[in-house]
């Protein structure tokens, strides 16, 4: 299938979603997902927050924040974040040192008690993020470098413990959380906790803003995922693991729409979607569908809704068009496009 045909099919599916038509369901879903792309400022944490909400309406969820900015944790926990005693950094240090197991009761925070909208859904827990993750990559890779000098079996076992740190944390936290789904918000940089998140995740959700920098970040993300000479596979090989998450969704964000033709992307959006599809076709075998076009999703431009959602900690599906909210000393109004965004988010969430 040509790129044009794939993009036509992506647009047709998007139009069906917006028209509440009969939309295809994915052939497979997974237990754990990491949201990841090597560029900041694309709305990744806002998307993570909203997907967490949508998924939690049907499934018990375990959420992890492995980004040093902690935006995901802030969206979920609000002021409760400042009372956190244990976070993901504490877990990683314990795992690397091999000192003790994770105590889920000390680590997990119930989402419902911190974020009111989640009270309508299933039980959800979060492992909060930490600003100390900013310096974690140097600790992680210096530790792995030391272990590479040990005798073969000792070095491999120690490396395996480190590389599987987040995976082990999820397994131990799941004793209490009992999640059906796990959602991990990662850093826009690969090194450190993002690496460990990829080892823990079954599949990736890759947000890509419709601009050239994000398109190049997509190529870098997929290359890091597949190139055996780069850090992800190189250190995993040292640890004796060959796990590679699949790419379940490429989510094109901030899409613009043709004003003359309803539910049709404008020429600029289509241009970037075509580029993203071309890049995806360069990496066969790592997507969860044979036709990579089936892994693409189009999301409207956030407009004011994304800022309001993050600042007020209100899922987009709970926002009402026309209502105003205070954000950074301004009164922002929910743009009418929020109604389109709700349908797009719901469709993506139901395919997880």
Domains of the chain: 3-350 (3.40.50.300)
Q: Which two tokens stand for residue 273?
A: 């979607």
Q: How would residue 33 be classed by pLDDT, with cut points 50, 70 and 90?
A: very high
Residue 154 has pLDDT above 90, yes or no: no
pLDDT mean over 61-72 = 96
Q: How far is 257 from 3, CA to CA, in rounded Å?
A: 20
Which residues are CB-neighbours of 94 under 8 A, at least 6 positions away? 100, 101, 102
The residue assigned the tokens 């004793």 is: 175
User: Among 94-98, 277-281, 333-337, where is mean pLDDT lowest?
Assistant: 94-98
Write down the pLDDT at residue 254. 92
More reliable by pLDDT, 301 or 211: 211
For the chain, give the mean pLDDT.
92
Residues 94 and 32: beta-carbon distance below 8 Å: no
Full DSSP string of 296-341: EEEEE--THHHHHHHHHT--GGG--TT-EEEETTEEEEPPTTHHHH
Report whether pLDDT(44) > 70: yes
**Over the stretch 310-319, which tens digit does the pLDDT of each residue have?**
999 999 999 9
Least confident of 62-66, 101-105, 331-335, 340-344: 101-105
Q: Return the beta strands (E) in the chain as ranges.
A: 32-35, 61-65, 109-110, 124-127, 181-185, 203-209, 246-255, 296-300, 324-327, 330-333
**pLDDT at residue 148, as a whole number:** 87
Burial 206-244 (b: 16+ CB within 10 A, else e): bbbbbbeebbebbbebbebbbeeeeebbebbebbebebb
Contacts of 242 (CB under 8 A, 6+ apart): 233, 236
Q: How far apart are CA 304 and CA 327, in angstroms?
A: 10
Task: Tell which wins on pLDDT, 152 or 91.
Answer: 91
* Residue pair 202/31 in contact by the 8 Å Cβ criterion: yes
- The whole-angstrom separation of Cα 159 and Cα 237 is 9
pLDDT tens for each residue of 242-257 = 899 999 999 999 998 8
Give the model's pLDDT for residue 179: 98
**What is the per-residue pLDDT for 42?**
79
**Among 275, 163, 255, residue whose Cα is nearest residue 215:** 275
pLDDT tens column, 257-316: 877 777 788 899 999 999 999 999 999 899 999 999 999 999 998 778 989 999 999 999
Averaged pLDDT for residues 147-153: 82
Q: Give residue 322's pLDDT.
A: 93
Banded pLDDT at 103 (limits 50, 70, 90): confident
The pLDDT of residue 21 is above 70: no
Burial bucket for residue 134 (CB in 10 Å: 0-12, 13-18, 19+) = middle
pLDDT range class, residue 22, cuts 50, 70, 90: low
Of the chain, the percentage scoring pLDDT greater than 90 comes to: 75
């Amino acid at each position: 299938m040509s790129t044009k045909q794939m993009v036509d099919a992506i647009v047709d599916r998007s139009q069906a979603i917006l028209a509440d038509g009969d939309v295809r369901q994915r052939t497979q879903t997974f237990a754990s997902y990491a949201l990841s792309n090597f560029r900041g400022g694309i709305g990744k944490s806002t998307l993570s927050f909203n997907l967490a909400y949508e998924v939690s309406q049907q499934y018990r969820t375990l959420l992890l924040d492995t980004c040093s900015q902690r935006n995901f944790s802030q969206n979920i926990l609000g002021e409760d974040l400042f009372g956190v005693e244990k976070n993901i950094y504490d877990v990683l240090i314990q795992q690397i040192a091999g000192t003790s197991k994770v105590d889920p009761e000390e680590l997990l925070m119930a989402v419902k008690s911190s974020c009111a909208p989640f009270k309508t859904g299933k039980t959800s827990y979060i492992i909060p993020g930490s600003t100390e993750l900013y310096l974690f990559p140097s600790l992680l890779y210096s530790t792995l470098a030391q272990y590479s000098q040990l005798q073969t079996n000792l070095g491999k076992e120690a490396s395996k413990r480190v590389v599987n740190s987040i995976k082990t944390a999820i397994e131990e936290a799941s004793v209490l959380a009992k999640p059906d789904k796990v959602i991990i918000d990662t850093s826009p940089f690969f090194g450190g906790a993002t690496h460990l998140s990829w080892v823990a995740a079954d599949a990736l959700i890759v947000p890509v803003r419709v601009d050239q920098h994000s398109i190049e970040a997509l190529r870098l993300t997929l290359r890091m995922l597949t190139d055996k000479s780069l850090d992800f596979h190189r250190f995993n090989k040292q640890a004796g693991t060959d796990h590679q998450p699949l790419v379940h969704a490429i989510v094109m964000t901030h899409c613009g729409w043709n004003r003359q033709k309803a539910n049709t992307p404008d020429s600029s959006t289509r241009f970037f979607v075509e580029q993203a599809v071309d890049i995806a076709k360069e990496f066969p075998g790592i997507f969860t569908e044979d036709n990579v076009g089936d892994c693409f999703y189009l999301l409207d431009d956030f407009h004011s809704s994304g800022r309001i959602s993050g600042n007020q900690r209100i899922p987009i599906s709970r926002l009402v068009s026309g209502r105003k909210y205070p954000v950074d000393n301004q009164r922002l109004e929910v743009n009418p496009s929020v109604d389109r965004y709700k349908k797009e988010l719901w469709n993506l969430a139901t395919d997880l």
